[in-house]
Amino acid sequence: MANDKFQLTKEAALKYDSHSVPAMFAPLARATMEKIDLPPSAHVIDIACGTGALTREITSCLTGRGRIVGVDLNETMVTVARENQPESNHNVEWYAADVCNIPCDDKSFDFGFIQQGLQFFPDKSASLKEVHRVLRPNGRLVLTCWRAVSPFNGALADALERHVGETAATKARAPFSFRDGNVITKLLRDAEFEIVLHDAVVLERRFDDLHSQIMALPIEADLRQAGDTVIKTVVTEVSAELSQYYKDGILCVPQEAHLFCAKPVASTK
Ligand SMILES: C[S@@+](CC[C@H](N)C(=O)[O-])C[C@H]1O[C@@H](n2cnc3c(N)ncnc32)[C@H](O)[C@@H]1O
């Protein structure tokens, strides 16, 4: 079994897939693939694949005899990804594994993708070295990581700080904890990658149902413990704080990501 310190329940994985994926991770996957020229027969690994938002997008780009592998630390995320994968010419190989221990041979892949995973890896340097190991010499790492705290998460964290506590507020900010482009650039270079593209992707995250989308986040248990009155207050305050982002009654909040594309260089050590 993969590292069990970070395992989610199946219910949490399904909530992630039904709320956060359509609102954010699927649009980010589409925006990323629009910027990347993926050969139709490429061998590709999606690392920290979650429930497979990006893996599905990659699958739809591979028209030839490519190979696709999805790897995530969470067994439940991988299970949901496997259950979600539509019938196609490609049988995705799914593995529950830590990024530092990818169960694939050296130099197996033309492309390695990490969509919104790097910020959660405890040993980022070892993670990137492991990705370097499985990439072919002319391969590419495509990495996205949020570039600024989104107005939504900022407003949510502030409301949680006021009404629930610091631990919940920190969880709401966690996806944005690693966002300095210069730090990511140095990390990539230190892991022997040469950056060939550093771009920005700006998404509009839609909230069709703010209450449900807040309750689908990892802070759900903290909010439930705080009780219904607090939940109502948090949702009301977040909505008020974001009033400038309502368009025709729907909340649409911008969210920006770094997009890096880097190629492995031969080791100098
Ligand atoms: C925000 S989600 C992104 C998932 C997916 N890439 C997407 O776009 O929907 C972060 C993912 O990183 C995974 N993760 C965290 N630490 C990991 C590790 N050490 N090795 C592999 N995956 C990890 C989590 O299980 C989670 O699925």
Strand 250-264 vs strand 109-115: parallel, antiparallel, or unpaired? unpaired
In a mutational test of the pocket of ligand 1, which residue from 74, 142, 203 has the highest number of ligand atoms less than 8 Å from its CB?
74
From CA 27, how far away is CA 237, in angstroms rounded? 26
* More confident of the two residues 71 and 88: 71
What is the average pLDDT value for the chain, to the nearest integer? 93
Q: Where does ligand 1 bind, in terms of residues with CB under 6 Å?
A: 6, 21, 25, 48-50, 53-54, 72-74, 77, 98-99, 115-117, 120-121
Residue 65 has pLDDT above 90, yes or no: no
Evaluate if residue 3 carries a pLDDT over 70: no
The secondary structure element, H or E, covering residue 146 is strand 135-146
Q: What is the per-residue DSSP string for 204-217?
A: EEEESSHHHHHHTS
pLDDT of 6 higher than 70: no
Residue among 4, 18, 30, 72 to mutate when testing ligand 1 (max atoms within 8 A of CB)? 72
Domains, the chain, ordered by start? 4-148+177-204+255-264 (3.40.50.150)
Which token pair is 252? 């649409």
The type of residue at 59 is: T
Geometric angle at alpha carbon 191, from 104 and 265, rounded to 5° = 80
According to the model, what pLDDT value does residue 47 have?
98
The pLDDT-based confidence of 268 (bands split at 50, 70, 90) is low
Model pLDDT, residue 2: 42
* Lookup result for tokens 């190989």: 93
